[in-house]
Structure 1
Amino acid sequence: MSGDPYDGYLQALEDLVELTRARIFLAPKDDTVADVVSDSVNEFEAELWELAESTWRSRLDIEQSLERTYRAAFRATDSMLALSYAIGEVLQAHDLRGQTPPPDPVRYAAIMILTRSISVGHEIYAMTRAGFTSGARARWRTLYELCVVAAVLRHGNRGTAARFINHRWILIAKRPRDYYQGDAEWEEARRSVESKAKSLIRRYGPAYGTTYGWAAELSSRRIGVGKPQFWHLERIADLNWPKSYWTYANHSVHADSLGGLLTVDHDGKMHSGMRREAIQITCAITVKAMAEIAISIVQIWDRHDRSSELAILSALCHELSTTLQHDCLMSGTVAPASGSAEVVATVPPLAP
């Protein structure tokens, strides 16, 4: 394994094993192995703290090194995060200035999706800055799902947003023991949730009880599907993402042998720590997904209160996103210290 900031730990562990072996040999007969090991670990703890201090500094050095190499990609990602945050502030200020806001269910669902996309974007960015692109792609899968849901809500109406919000009760009621267990108070809460879920299914129909039942009414109208799966939501969203990004993200999540290949570097070694591969493309698809979510949310607002401000905001977000994606993809790899010029990395293009 390689790529980890753990200098000194191998020697420290070997020393600990030898020290414990000697202590066991010299220990009184009434001392157990567990007693001797406990003494060794107590003494070793202080050394571990010192090693951890060194590791912390090494992690900072790694991030600084990556920042120098992929500065443009990191700056672009941070800019898109900030832009998404600012769009949320603009939309809420837009309501306060007297314009007609979306109905409460639409407003709540839209701001919730936008807020969560920013939160997930921060997580992706933190892992990418540290060189953990496989983990970042795993979180990107959630960002992509938010991208699809935001687009579906944009194609829907007030009822679609209300169904989306209320569907939380269906998901909890599917496995209530995972959420409510123990004393009588929790049991009462569980029954209340199940009652709420049954009431919603009576209101919206049997299809509402399925995993993506909140979109059943819309999918039935749009594509003639009464019990939608996620890929049906993708059809409604019509976002034109290459399937390979979603496939890669799925393998970054699952604990199978194919996903395990993501730890193997071009040098044939397994890397459990920092890697430089795919940093540019991970930043670019993060920017693209966050922009699509923000644009969907702005267009949801615009549908309820047509204004030149919202139309301009949507167009600006699209154009800025395109520019920032280009910055990510053109982020170079720093040449060796011999003084040779920066080399631009070759990465696959994003779909428009």
Structure 2
Amino acid sequence: MPRFDTLAELREFLENNATGMAHDTLRSAADSREKRRTDAAEVNQAITKRWSQGLAALDAAIFAMGQNGLMMLKRLDEVDAADPNDSHQTVRVVLALQQFNALIVLQEIQVLLQAGFWSGAAARWRALHETAVTAKVIAERDATLAQRYLDHGFVVQTRRLTAYFDEHGIGPVAPAELASRTKKAAALEQAHGVSNASSKFREPYGWAIPLMGMNAKGRRMRPSMEALEKLAGLDHRRLLVASAHGIVHGDSGGIGGTVLMEDGQWLGGPTERFIETVARPTFETLIHLAGATHVGFEPELNDFCELICLVGSSLMTLCGDAIEKFPRE
């Protein structure tokens, strides 16, 4: 690379040579691909050897979550056919949503951990934690709150679609359908309005406004994940959530902790280190989530209640045992 005395000279060089340099980079990357694959395989083998029992337990947990989720879907269909006005059905729908969302996130965590990308897995753990919090809050309350949760999702997504269409003149929803959704969303906002609230239904966690306490001015406080964590009894992980937050948003603390290691090593790829720091809280969170989605799924003692509680308890026991397979280091 030649030296330049002015920015104008540098700009001219780049304009004349950037395309060629880009093609050179593509060729070099192709040549090094096999080495990257070899390095990735070595990390994968090291992780598999060191945490084989824990990773096997994660496989089992993912399998159980999928199988139990299918049971939940079957139950939803049965209740709809038998009694479409069942008062608990809305709660079941929300818990099934949490179950399948957790199933997807768990698989993402598994892939990232197995590949040595622990910070990515930690970021996805935060999503798992928030899913567990929501599931516990919904499971411990009634269909009214569950319906608020579902309607809030419709309102928020409609506003996102509308904003995108207004900005770009195009989107995944046709204008006529978007107009219909917007009308329905406005009606839902009005129906779910809470007097003396510090925030609106359409704002973050607006579905949880009725659960919030009053402030000194007699207004219901704005809902937040921190407040929901306390309601769910999962606020003991707040500091870990804050750390994951830094990774998710790439703030200076998050980047410093994931790129610059304690020993001064700069990290630019996968590593077999820190796997247990994500795996342990993942299993712990799954215990709480499984308890909420399974035990809260059926309000009355019947054959299905016994079955879903049994398989849920089995999954929770599996996760508890798995924690011991990822010892603290």
TM-score, structure 2 normalization: 0.79
Match of 1:114 in 2: 99
Please, which of 282, 287, 292 is the counterpart of residue 291 of structure 1? 287
2:67 matched to which residue of 1? 86
Structure whose alpha-carbon radius of gyration is higher: 1
Could you report, residue by residue, the CA deviation over 1:79-122 in whole angstroms, capped at 9, with x for unpaired residues? Answer: 22222112212333456778988744223221111111111111
* 1:63-102 superposed matches below 5 A: 63-94=44-75
1:145-174 CA-to-partner distances (Å, cap 9, x unmatched) read: 101000011012112111111112332355
Aligned to 1:246: 241
1:236 is aligned to 2:231: yes
Any residues of structure 2 matched to 1:29-178 within 5 Å, and which? 38-39=19-20, 41-42=22-23, 45-94=26-75, 103-175=88-160, 177-178=162-163
Distance apart, 1:137 and its partner CA? 0.9
1: CA distance, partners of 2:300 / 2:87:
5
Within a 5 Å distance, the mapping from 1:191-270 to structure 2 comes to: 191-206=179-194, 207-219=200-212, 225=220, 227-239=222-234, 241-262=236-257, 263-270=259-266
Deviates more, 1:279-288 or 1:103-112: 103-112
Name stretches of at least 5 consecutive residues in structure 2 with no aligned partner.
3-12, 195-199
Please report the RMSD computed on the Cα atoms of aligned residues, expressed in angstroms. Answer: 3.2
| Unpaired stretches in structure 1, ≥5 consecutive residues | 1-16, 22-31, 330-345, 348-352
Quick one: distance in 2 between partners of 1:274 and 1:145?
26
The count of corresponding residues between Structure 1 and Structure 2 is 301
Change (3 A) 1:277 1:248: farther
Q: Which has the higher contact order (CA 8 A, sep 6+)?
A: 1
C-alpha separation between the residues in 2 aligned to 1:40 and 1:203?
Answer: 60
Q: Is 1:303 aligned with 2:296?
A: no
Distance 1:44 1:97, change over 3 A: closer
TM-score normalised according to structure 1 size: 0.74
Task: Report how far residue 228 of structure 1 moved.
Answer: 2.1
- Report what 1:179 is aligned to: 164
Q: 2:208 is aligned with what amino acid?
A: A
Aligned-partner Cα distance in 2 for 1:35–1:240: 57
User: Alignment partner of 1:301: what SS?
Assistant: coil
Q: Give distance in 1, aligned partners of 2:226 and 2:21.
A: 56
Mapped contact 1:118–1:290 kept (Cα < 8 A): no
Range moving further from structure 2, 176-185 or 63-72:
176-185
Distance 2:326 2:313 in 1: 20
CA contact (8 A) 2:76 2:92 kept: no
Per mean C-alpha deviation after superposition, the further-off stretch among 135-144 and 267-276 is 267-276
Contact 2:284 2:323 (8 Å CA) reproduced = yes
Question: Residue type matched to 2:112 in 1?
Answer: M
CA 1:92/1:188 → structure 2, altered by over 3 Å: closer, same or farther? closer
Q: Percent identity?
A: 19
User: What amino acid is aligned across from residue 104 of structure 2 in structure 1?
Assistant: S
- Offset at 1:249? 0.9
AA aligned opposite 1:273? G
Which amino acid is the alignment partner of residue 298 of structure 1?
H
Q: Deviations over 1:24-73 (max 9, x none)?
A: xxxxxxxx975665456546644432322332232122211221122122
